[in-house]
């Protein structure tokens, strides 16, 4: 313990100058802001366009008019679109859409439930099979059978293509350092780019509809499987690879018999991540006419129908839980399947055969009979969907009526106390002052090597013509991140210290992460009005779960012996938290801040839908107003630039910090 606290003291002493430097820079900034306020803020009113924006509009028109003739389209984009479309339509005609002259899809609900259960058992275990059966049935009970199947079909199509491309590419990147080096920044970029930003340009190339929904999903869901597969291949125990080589295995034999089998568990984890990403993106792709549950949620949003939005959101959450648990069980089975005794294997085979027969019978029935094809129940709302929806609507109304005063007070406190002053400082300073300050701060917290990157990002931000908008968004992003981190630390520490709390809170967080943001926008609008604060709350709801989980895991990861030693030497709980657990979980804290920022940024556009204005609004507007297309695209790019800037800086700061701790500890 003594060495630890001595280290902590030294660390504090060494960090003081850095903190003081940051303080000094901010102080100078404020002093300069007073006389310079309002000058050179590069303001641009909403309907004004810069030449760049107009050029993008022209480019859009040019692309549009050459679509029919240009070989880039006929030979490339159209081919891709048609291929994806064929796959998607096929899957839809299997489970969701009337096809082949039938009024219903080939497989009705009974068949789908049975086959899904069979698959869940085949890749997982009996528990997830039961969960799957229950989950799939609940789609019908909620009254969203067809929409759920559309969502599922699109998700499957995207995941199939992701795996087909992603796993080989991941394996290759696992074997080749060069490819890995090339791929990493591309994947970084794909992952920091907020999803809404590429929807508009995507429709330009792939039009609208299921196919481009699937393609958007591909872009979003591919990185995890590539990354995690490469990681898995890279981390296969060297000794096993060496053993194979020493026996004269060829590269291919090594891959087949050693690397892939040993990395399989990790690869399946990648599949799990990709499935989850795909599902969340398919929902968002409703904006470009991807069918499914996302459409229900979007339309409910238009009529402020909280209840319907929620019950469709619930179906999405259930689907997410089922897919997550099944793929997780599949991962665990990779570990256990080969060591089943012959008896267990026999039992398993019998169960499989039983479920297989059941599935075959169900398939036949659902192909032939109406009752097994259409999910029974009222035409809309399903058996329980109506009740769920009206219950939620009532609850939400009640909250709005009774909590209005409180929520107004909260909004005003944060807006006047924190957001407005910060926004005024950032957005009303001259652009060169802000740029200098940002460069200086980045230098101080993240080191000199980050300076060129930051400078390029700032320069490009100015070039987008949306400097002031970007600064308004930046202010809101920072406030949201502060709230996320405050929540992250408080709840994360609580979860990290108490298994009960963890067990209770974690599922809620999981659900909050997969619940589409559109679902909670309406109640928030009721509570906080159309304002930047509503956008901040939406972002916090989306980003806090990640941060909380990271902090909780970090606190959990502090060695029990250290905590024990601290307790034994008479520390109070508060002292244990502040002197031992948080300092030792520091890496997790910085990672949480980094991820919190990225998640908050990815909600900028959603924020634009509820009054955040600035970049988010422009992206949304650019999406729907033809004159603002170029400007909206520029706003999207500006969001990405902010993302790269903040991501790089916090990561470099975290690395530097980690290295510091390593050196001194």
Enumerate residues 352-381 that contact another protein by CB under 8 A.
354, 357-358, 361-362, 365, 367-373, 379-380
Q: Is 273 helix (H, G, I), strand (E, B) or coil?
A: helix
Question: What is the per-residue DSSP string for 374-386?
Answer: SPPS-TTTTTTHH
Q: Are 270 and 232 in contact (CB under 8 A)?
A: yes
Which C-beta is closer to another protein: that of 6 or that of 237? 237
Shortest Cβ 315–another protein spacing (Å): 17
Determine, following the binding rule CB under 8 A, whether residue 623 of this chain makes contact with another protein: yes
Which residue in 448, 142, 148, 157 sits closest to 291, CA to CA?
A: 148
Question: Which window, 174-182, 205-213, 219-227, 556-564, contacts another protein (CB under 8 A)?
Answer: 205-213
Count how many residues are written for the chain.
665
Tokens 């692309």 belong to residue: 63
Residue 659 structure tokens: 């290295």
Residues 13-72 binding another protein (CB under 8 A) are: 45-47, 61, 64-65, 67-68
Question: What is the per-residue DSSP string for 289-328?
Answer: T--SHHHHHHHHHHTT-HHHHHHHHHHHHHHHHHHHHHHH
- CA 152/CA 95 separation, integer angstroms: 9
Residue 124 structure tokens: 């997982």
- CA 456/CA 435 separation, integer angstroms: 11
Shortest Cβ 126–another protein spacing (Å): 7
Tokens 């959101």 belong to residue: 313
Shortest Cβ 313–another protein spacing (Å): 15
Question: Which window, 24-32, 273-281, 303-311, 429-437, contacts another protein (CB under 8 A)?
Answer: 303-311
Determine, following the binding rule CB under 8 A, whether residue 304 of this chain makes contact with another protein: yes
Indicate which single residue of 84, 323, 480, 521 sits in contact with another protein (rule: CB under 8 A): 521
Residues 102-141 binding another protein (CB under 8 A) are: 102-104, 126
Shortest Cβ 517–another protein spacing (Å): 12
Which residue in 132, 260, 284, 302 sits closest to 199, CA to CA?
A: 284
Tokens 């709005």 belong to residue: 400
Which C-beta is closer to another protein: that of 64 or that of 573? 64
- CA 255/CA 238 separation, integer angstroms: 13
Q: How many residues bind another protein (CB under 8 A)?
A: 103
Determine, following the binding rule CB under 8 A, whether residue 207 of this chain makes contact with another protein: yes
Residue 444 structure tokens: 């101080």
Which C-beta is closer to another protein: that of 573 or that of 624? 624
Which C-beta is closer to another protein: that of 109 or that of 494? 109
Q: Are 543 and 622 in contact (CB under 8 A)?
A: no
Determine, following the binding rule CB under 8 A, whether residue 308 of this chain makes contact with another protein: yes
Question: Which window, 18-26, 218-226, 489-497, 519-527, contacts another protein (CB under 8 A)?
Answer: 519-527
Residue 306 structure tokens: 């909280």
Question: Which window, 175-183, 185-193, 250-258, 637-645, contacts another protein (CB under 8 A)?
Answer: 250-258
- CA 393/CA 118 separation, integer angstroms: 37
Shortest Cβ 184–another protein spacing (Å): 22
Shortest Cβ 536–another protein spacing (Å): 12
Determine, following the binding rule CB under 8 A, whether residue 586 of this chain makes contact with another protein: no
464 φ, ψ (degrees, to nearest 5)? -65, -15
Determine, following the binding rule CB under 8 A, whether residue 626 of this chain makes contact with another protein: yes
Which C-beta is closer to another protein: that of 325 or that of 532? 532
Indicate which single residue of 350, 403, 456, 504 sits in contact with another protein (rule: CB under 8 A): 350
Shortest Cβ 236–another protein spacing (Å): 10
Count CB-CB contacts under 10 A for residue 209: 17
Residues 391-430 binding another protein (CB under 8 A) are: 400-401, 404, 411-412, 415-416, 419-420
Shortest Cβ 298–another protein spacing (Å): 7
- CA 113/CA 127 separation, integer angstroms: 15
Shortest Cβ 308–another protein spacing (Å): 7
What region, left, alpha or beta, does residue 447 occupy, with left being phi > 0 and alpha being psi -120 to 50 degrees? left
Residues 533-572 binding another protein (CB under 8 A) are: 533
* Cα angle 648-665-13, degrees, rounded to a multiple of 5: 80
Residue 558 structure tokens: 């502090």
Question: Which window, 161-169, 298-306, 449-457, 537-545, contacts another protein (CB under 8 A)?
Answer: 298-306
Determine, following the binding rule CB under 8 A, whether residue 295 of this chain makes contact with another protein: yes
Residues 145-184 binding another protein (CB under 8 A) are: none
Which C-beta is closer to another protein: that of 8 or that of 208? 208
Determine, following the binding rule CB under 8 A, whether residue 314 of this chain makes contact with another protein: no
DSSP for residue 236? S
- CA 207/CA 609 separation, integer angstroms: 23
Determine, following the binding rule CB under 8 A, whether residue 315 of this chain makes contact with another protein: no
Indicate which single residue of 203, 473, 477, 602 sits in contact with another protein (rule: CB under 8 A): 203
Residue 46 structure tokens: 């909403």
Q: Is 516 helix (H, G, I), strand (E, B) or coil?
A: coil
Determine, following the binding rule CB under 8 A, whether residue 338 of this chain makes contact with another protein: yes
């Amino acid at each position: 313990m003594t060495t630890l606290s001595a280290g902590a003291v030294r660390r504090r002493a060494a960090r003081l100058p850095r903190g003081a430097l940051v303080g000094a820079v901010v102080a100078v900034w404020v002093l300069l802001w007073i006389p310079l306020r309002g000058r050179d803020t590069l303001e641009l009113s909403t309907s004004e366009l810069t030449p760049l924006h107009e050029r993008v509009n022209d480019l859009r028109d040019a692309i549009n008019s050459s679509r029919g003739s240009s070989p880039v389209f006929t030979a490339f984009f159209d081919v891709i679109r048609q291929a994806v479309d064929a796959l998607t339509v096929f899957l839809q005609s299997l489970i969701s859409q009337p096809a082949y002259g039938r009024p219903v899809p080939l497989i009705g609900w009974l068949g789908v439930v049975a086959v899904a259960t069979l698959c869940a058992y085949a890749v997982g275990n009996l528990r997830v099979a039961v969960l799957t059966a229950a989950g799939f049935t609940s789609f019908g009970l909620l009254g969203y059978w067809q929409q759920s199947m559309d969502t599922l079909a699109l998700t499957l199509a995207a995941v199939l293509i992701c795996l087909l491309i992603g796993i080989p590419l991941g394996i290759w990147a696992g074997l080749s350092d060069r490819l890995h080096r090339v791929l990493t920044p591309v994947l970084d970029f794909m992952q920091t780019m907020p999803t809404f930003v590429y929807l508009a340009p995507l429709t330009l190339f792939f039009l609208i509809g299921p196919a481009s929904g699937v393609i958007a999903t591909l872009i979003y869901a591919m990185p995890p499987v590539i990354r995690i597969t490469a990681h898995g291949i890279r981390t296969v125990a060297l000794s096993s690879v060496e053993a194979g080589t020493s026996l004269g295995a060829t590269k291919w034999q090594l891959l087949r018999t050693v690397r892939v089998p040993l990395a399989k568990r990790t690869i399946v984890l990648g599949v799990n991540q990709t499935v989850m990403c795909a599902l969340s993106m398919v929902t968002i792709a409703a904006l470009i006419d991807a069918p499914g549950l996302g459409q229900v949620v979007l339309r409910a949003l238009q009529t402020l129908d909280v209840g319907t939005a929620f019950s469709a959101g619930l179906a999405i959450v259930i689907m997410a839980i089922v897919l997550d648990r099944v793929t997780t069980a599949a991962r665990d089975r990779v570990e256990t399947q080969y060591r089943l005794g012959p008896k267990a294997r026999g039992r398993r085979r019998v169960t499989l055969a039983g479920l297989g027969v059941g599935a075959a019978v169900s398939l036949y029935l659902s192909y032939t009979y109406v009752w097994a094809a259409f999910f029974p129940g009222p035409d809309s709302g399903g058996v329980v969907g109506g009740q769920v929806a009206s219950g939620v609507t009532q609850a939400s109304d009640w909250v709005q009526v009774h909590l209005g005063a409180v929520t107004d007070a909260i909004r005003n406190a944060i807006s006047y106390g924190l957001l407005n002053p910060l926004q005024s400082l950032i957005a009303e300073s001259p652009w060169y002052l802000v740029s200098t300050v940002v460069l200086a701060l980045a230098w101080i917290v993240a080191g000199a090597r980050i300076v060129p990157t930051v400078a390029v990002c700032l320069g490009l931000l100015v070039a987008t013509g949306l400097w002031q908008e970007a600064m308004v968004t930046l202010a809101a992003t920072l406030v949201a991140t502060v709230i996320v981190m405050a929540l992250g630390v408080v709840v994360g520490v609580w979860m990290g210290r108490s298994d009960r709390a963890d067990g209770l809170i974690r599922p809620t967080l999981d659900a909050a992460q997969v619940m589409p943001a559109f679902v909670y926008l309406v109640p928030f609008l009721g509570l906080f009005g159309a304002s930047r604060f509503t956008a901040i709350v939406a972002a916090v709801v989306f980003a806090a779960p990640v941060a909380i989980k990271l902090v909780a895991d970090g606190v959990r990861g502090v060695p029990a012996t250290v905590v024990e030693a601290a307790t034994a030497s008479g520390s109070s709980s508060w002292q244990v938290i502040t002197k031992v657990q948080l300092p030792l979980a520091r890496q997790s804290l910085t990672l949480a801040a980094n991820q919190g920022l990225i998640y908050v940024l990815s909600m900028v556009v959603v924020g634009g839908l509820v009054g955040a204005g600035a970049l988010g609004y422009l992206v949304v507007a650019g999406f729907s107003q033809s004159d603002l297309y170029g400007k909206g695209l520029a706003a999207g790019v500006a969001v990405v630039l902010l993302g790269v800037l903040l991501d790089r800086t916090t990561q470099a700061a975290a690395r530097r910090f980690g290295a510091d701790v390593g050196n001194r500890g």
